[in-house]
Structure 1
């Protein structure tokens, strides 16, 4: 009698709060094994059965190769990768310190590129896999005080489109999800007046929820999205329409 196959493994970054936590909860509910990465510890009981946490600082770019090897050794080859971890410092470019600019670009763009480099290799060997990069509508709409964040997220979308062409022949899809503003810790640094204006501009009169964005991620990881690659799915309650 053949033993049942183990659930597919998905690595999700930035699972200590907000969208990352919502995504991890959705994926374990859908039957995946999920390994979450964040700088802060996460109690697996807050996510659900099938979740394991690995404390890691993705801002340490030089440590990413060893991190990827450690993940594969401990948990097996991943089927999916969700690059969610990001920093959205609010500040006008002329007054931002160079170290702040560097930290945003490194965490929001370079870290996903490097983690994908090492974790896509076992996907290519298996000839199956899913990569979902979290972008933002700001990459296309712009927003006052978020020029560096927007630049990094625009890079994520360009990376997504080109990598889809690189990996598609081996059965690996690469897509992005672009949320609008969400009620999470990242948007708490923005002025409340700006957020109220965004809500009023939305056809639905509200922000999208982390759970709605997580549902889009789950779709792109699932079998119904096998023919979808190189695209960006927007979930913003219509605010960019």
Structure 2
């Protein structure tokens, strides 16, 4: 059974990827700050195949230990989905330095370090899948999200270069860039703002977490062996 590590797995997109991975008979190491009720229910359904690891990626010092523990206790991973991220809404001129530092730490440094340490067992196996979750904001920009956009752009560049480093040993590295998705967060948007987003989509809707997770599942599969260094946008066509 292939092992997949998913960060930010307790809600939203990460939870849906976890759900689909379990249905596809992967063993999932789900990482999050605290176990959610929804993840608890999944664990009841798949007690042998879902392992939860509590970790806050604001702390970089324990990532090596976390990765080592995963490989030692559960086996060498086949896949890694770097989904965990934070976002602060605020223009750069008034954004606190501590918030800027935290964005960089959680959204850039943490996934790079986790990838570094989980890549080592993948190199031993000479196979693997790494998927970094970026955002359309990295390419389109958005008022008040300049630092967040910078962190997501960094993941895209990281993906392209890393794909060249590890491609010769059968490891693929790709980025998924979702647009706005149907989540609890977007459901709370003001009606006018949500309608504005919907008007930009040729399909007249937002992408769902199921849509995005399905693409991640394809990239995790052996069928995607010829896709690497690529960024896939899933936004119901809003950036077309």
TM-score tier after normalising by the smaller chain length: over 0.9
1:216 corresponds to which residue? 215
Gaps of 5+ in 1: 1-6
1:133 corresponds to which residue? 132
Gaps of 5+ in 2: none
The question of whether the paired residues in 2 share the 8 Å contact of 1:27 and 1:218 is answered with yes
The question of whether the paired residues in 2 share the 8 Å contact of 1:44 and 1:53 is answered with no
2:88 corresponds to which residue? 89
How many pairs were matched up? 235
Pairwise CA RMSD: 1.5
1:33 corresponds to which residue? 27
The question of whether the paired residues in 2 share the 8 Å contact of 1:44 and 1:52 is answered with no
Q: CA deviation at 1:58?
A: 1.1
TM-score, structure 1 as length reference:
0.93
- State the Cα deviation string for residues 136-183 of structure 1 (Å, max 9, x = none): 000001111111110000000000000000010111000011000113
The question of whether the paired residues in 2 share the 8 Å contact of 1:134 and 1:178 is answered with yes
TM-score, structure 2 as length reference:
0.93
Q: CA deviation at 1:188?
A: 6.6
Matching of residue 76 in structure 1 with residue 72 in structure 2: no
Which deviates the most, 44-53 or 102-111?
Answer: 44-53
- Corresponding residue to 2:42 among 27, 46, 55: 46
The question of whether the paired residues in 2 share the 8 Å contact of 1:87 and 1:186 is answered with no
Distance in 2, Cα, partners of 1:190 & 1:159: 31
The question of whether the paired residues in 2 share the 8 Å contact of 1:44 and 1:51 is answered with no
* 4+ runs deviating over 3 angstroms: 185-195
- State the Cα deviation string for residues 104-150 of structure 1 (Å, max 9, x = none): 11111111100000001000111000000000000001111111110
Q: CA deviation at 1:76?
A: 1.1
Distance in 2, Cα, partners of 1:144 & 1:189: 19
Distance in 1, Cα, partners of 2:130 & 2:222: 13
